[in-house]
C-alpha cells in the first residue's frame, strides 16, 4: 500500500476493549481506523465520511449490528455497495439467514484472528496487499516470555476456577498476543483497556440483574465473553458465554445460581491481569516533569501520526506515563490519549500541535483535509 492513501475502516463496537483490539490489528496493516461505540454513532459518521469497509459488532445496546446495517442499506447507492462485515462470537449457523436479510456481506469470528482479518480485507477492500502478521511463540511482553502465561488453580483459596480443570490458565498470554497481532505494546494496551471495561460491565450487570433487565444483562455477558477472549482469558470468556446463553433462554434461575461465581472469577482474572501487566492498584513513584522530554515525544508522535503509524505513536506516548505532570499538561496528555485510543489521526495531531503551541515556538495547527 506504499505510496497510496491508506484505506479507511470504521470499527463499530460498544466494548472499548474490542475497539482497541480491532483498531490495533487494522493499524498494523496500515489502515486508517475510526471507531464508533454504538450503531447510532456509526450511522452518523457514515453519513459524513466515506469508508472502504465497516466492521460491525453484532450485539450492542440500543441498536444492534443487524438493525444498524439495515438502516445503512436504506440510505442510498453508496451504502448499498459498502462492505459491512459482522463481528460476532455467536454461532454463525444460527444467524446466517438474519445476516443475509440485514444486508451483511460477510462475518468474522470474535476474538478476531489476524489471519482471518487479513482474508476479510483481501476479499472486500480493492487493491489491499499486505504481508500476514507474523506471531512468534517467543514474543516478549514486559520482559516475561509469552509462553509463561498466568496460572490459577483456585479462587480465593477454595474451589476450582469455575468449571475449568485445575491449573488451566486464567490468562493465556500467547493467545492474547495472537489476537493483538503478535505486538506486545498492543497487548499491553488491550490489557489496560480490559481492566477499565470489565469494571464498567460488572456495574451494568449488577444493576441489570437488580432491575430484571434481562436483555441488557445478556448483552453485557456477551460483551464480557468477547473482551475476555480477546486478552486470552478463556475461563472467564467461557463462563460469561454460558450465562449469555442462559439469558437468551430466559433461564433466570441459572443466572442467579452462577452469578456469584462469575463475579469471583472476574476478580481473580483482574488480579491475574494486574499481576502480569503491572497495572496494580498502588501507584508507583513518578519522575519530576521533563518538559524537553515532553516536547520531543510530542513532535515524534505528530510525525508518526502524519505517517498513519499509530503503533509507534502509542509506544512513544507510553513513556509519558512515568512523569508527574502539572494539571494543564496532564489534561493535554489525556486528550491525546483519547485520540490515540480511537485511532483518530487528525484529532491526535491537532491535540499535539495545540500542546506544542502552548509550550511555545509552534504555529497553530490546521486540520489536514483528506480525500474521501
Q: Would residue 224 count as lying in a domain?
A: yes
Answer whether residue 282 is part of any domain.
no
Distance CA(99)–CA(105), nearest Å, equals 8
Q: Which set of grid coordinates corresponds to residue 260? A: 456469584
pLDDT at 145: 35
Q: Cell for 149?
A: 502465561
Residues 118, 43 share a domain:
yes
Q: How many CA atoms lie within 13 A of 315 on its CB side?
A: 10
CB atoms within 10 A of CB 126: 7
Residue 1 lies in a domain: no
Whether residues 118 and 158 share a domain: the answer is no
Residues 102 and 150 in one domain: no
Nearest to 269 by CA among 306, 210, 229, 212: 229
Determine, yes or no, domain membership for 134.
no
In the chain, where do the E strands start and end?
A: 8-12, 32-36, 53-57, 84-88, 106-109, 140-141, 144-145, 150-151, 169-171
Domain holding 216: CATH number?
A: 1.20.120.160
**Cα distance between residue 16 and residue 215, in whole Å:** 20
Within-domain flag for 303: yes
Other C-beta atoms lying within 10 Å of the C-beta of residue 282: 4
Residues 179, 28: contact at Cβ < 8 Å? Answer: no
Residue 360 CB partners (closer than 8 Å, separation 6+) = none
pLDDT at 101: 92
- 340 and 300 within one domain: yes
C-alpha cell at 346: 487528525
Residue 208's domain comprises 140-277
Provide the 8-state DSSP code for 323. B
157 lies in the same domain as 219: yes
295 and 260 share a domain?
no
On whether both 76 and 32 belong to a single domain, the answer is yes
Question: Given 90, 124, 158, which residue is the final one in a domain?
Answer: 124
Residue 365, domain member (yes or no): no
CATH number (domain holding residue 19): 3.40.50.2300
Report helix, strand or coil for 88: strand
Inside any domain, residue 233: yes
- Please check whether residue 267 lies inside any domain of the structure: yes
User: Which pLDDT score, from 0 to 100, does residue 98 have?
Assistant: 92
Distance CA 110, CA 328 (A): 39
Do 113 and 64 have their domain in common?
A: yes
Identify whether residues 74 and 185 lie together within a single domain.
no
Q: How many domains does the chain have?
A: 3
Per-residue pLDDT of the chain (372 residues; tens, 9 = 90+): 344 567 899 999 988 888 888 888 888 787 888 899 899 999 999 999 999 999 999 989 889 999 999 999 998 888 889 999 999 988 888 888 999 999 999 999 998 988 899 999 999 988 765 544 444 333 333 333 333 455 443 333 333 333 333 335 899 999 998 888 888 878 888 898 899 889 999 999 999 999 999 999 999 999 999 999 999 999 999 999 999 999 999 999 999 999 999 999 999 999 999 888 765 544 456 678 788 888 888 888 888 888 767 667 777 887 777 777 778 888 888 888 777 766 677 788 888 888 888 876 444 333 334 344
Q: How far, in Å, CA of 150 to CA of 176, rounded? A: 12
Amino acid at each position: 500500500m506504499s505510496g497510496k492513501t491508506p484505506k479507511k475502516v470504521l470499527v463499530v463496537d460498544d466494548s472499548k476493549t474490542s475497539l482497541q483490539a480491532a483498531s490495533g490489528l487494522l493499524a498494523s496493516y496500515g489502515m486508517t481506523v475510526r471507531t464508533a461505540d454504538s450503531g447510532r454513532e456509526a450511522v452518523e459518521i457514515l453519513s459524513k465520511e466515506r469508508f472502504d469497509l465497516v466492521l460491525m459488532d453484532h450485539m450492542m445496546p440500543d441498536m444492534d449490528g443487524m438493525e444498524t446495517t439495515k438502516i445503512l442499506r436504506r440510505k442510498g447507492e453508496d451504502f448499498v455497495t459498502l462492505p459491512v462485515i459482522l463481528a460476532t462470537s455467536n454461532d454463525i449457523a444460527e444467524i446466517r439467514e438474519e445476516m443475509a436479510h440485514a444486508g451483511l456481506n460477510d462475518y468474522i469470528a470474535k476474538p478476531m484472528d489476524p489471519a482471518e482479518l487479513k482474508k476479510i480485507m483481501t476479499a472486500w477492500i480493492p487493491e489491499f496487499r499486505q504481508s500476514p502478521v507474523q506471531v512468534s511463540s517467543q514474543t516478549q511482553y514486559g520482559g516475561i516470555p509469552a509462553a509463561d502465561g498466568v496460572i490459577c488453580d483456585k479462587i480465593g483459596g477454595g474451589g476450582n476456577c469455575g468449571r475449568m480443570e485445575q491449573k488451566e490458565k486464567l490468562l493465556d498470554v500467547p493467545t492474547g498476543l495472537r489476537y493483538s497481532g503478535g505486538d506486545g505494546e498492543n497487548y499491553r494496551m488491550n490489557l489496560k483497556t480490559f481492566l477499565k471495561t470489565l469494571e464498567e460491565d460488572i456495574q451494568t450487570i449488577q444493576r441489570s440483574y437488580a432491575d430484571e433487565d434481562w436483555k441488557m444483562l445478556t448483552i453485557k455477558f456477551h460483551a464480557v465473553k468477547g473482551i475476555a477472549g480477546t486478552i486470552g482469558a478463556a475461563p472467564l470468556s467461557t463462563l460469561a458465554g454460558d450465562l449469555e446463553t442462559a439469558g437468551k433462554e430466559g433461564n433466570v434461575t441459572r443466572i442467579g445460581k452462577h452469578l456469584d461465581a462469575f463475579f469471583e472469577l472476574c476478580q481473580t482474572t483482574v488480579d491475574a491481569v494486574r499481576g502480569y501487566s503491572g497495572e496494580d492498584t498502588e501507584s508507583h513513584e513518578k519522575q519530576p516533569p521533563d518538559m524537553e522530554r515532553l516536547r520531543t515525544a510530542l513532535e515524534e508522535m505528530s510525525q508518526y501520526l502524519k505517517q498513519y503509524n499509530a503503533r509507534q505513536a502509542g509506544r512513544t506516548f507510553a513513556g509519558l506515563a512515568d512523569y508527574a505532570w502539572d494539571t494543564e499538561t496532564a489534561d493535554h496528555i489525556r486528550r491525546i490519549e483519547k485520540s490515540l485510543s480511537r485511532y483518530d489521526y487528525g484529532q491526535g495531531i491537532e491535540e499535539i500541535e495545540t500542546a506544542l503551541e502552548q509550550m511555545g515556538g509552534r504555529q497553530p495547527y490546521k486540520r489536514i483535509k483528506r480525500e474521501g
